[in-house]
Amino acid sequence: MIEQLALSIVCLAGVYFIVLGALALARPEIAKRFLLGFAGSARAHYSELLVRIVVGGSLVLSSPLMLFSSAFTVFGWVLVGTSAAILLVPWQSHHRFAARSVPPALRFISVIGLGSLALGVFTLGALAFGSQTA
């Protein structure tokens, strides 16, 4: 049951990256507004961290069934570890950091879009083809 839930969460994360990538390429202004919303409030900050921890844990649990399992295990632990570290930082500090770093990065929204698409396709492919061989 937990394994199926983890696999479903990884699948949803892959779909999320594909949708974000498509949005960044097709409607960049909407994608920019969405990305600027992270860490905008305590609720957004803690919600983001919760999602990152859940997705990271799901990657760790699902990685043995995926292609490139070692890479997904490491990526999952990196998500969990960095999220745990950010939990120790007051959300206002995260907000200030995001306010300084996200706008300059958004100049490269098309690169972000392509990277997001690639990550989503890679994740879903690793999930689909790894599950067939497990």
For the chain, the domains span 2-133
Distance CA 98, CA 74 (A): 24
**Secondary structure (H, E, C), the chain:** CHHHHHHHHHHHHHHHHHHHHHHHHHCHHHHHHHHHCCCCCHHHHHHHHHHHHHHHHHHHHHHHHCCCHHHHHHHHHHHHHHHHHHHCCCHHHHHHHHHHHHHHHHHHHHHHHHHHHHHHHHHHHHHHHHHHHC
Q: What is the pLDDT of residue 134?
A: 47
- pTM, whole model, 2 decimals? 0.90
- Residue 13 pLDDT > 70: yes
Q: Say if residue 75's pLDDT is above 60.
A: yes
**Chain segment 77-103, per-residue pLDDT in tens:** 999 999 999 999 898 898 899 889 999
Give the pLDDT score at 131.
62
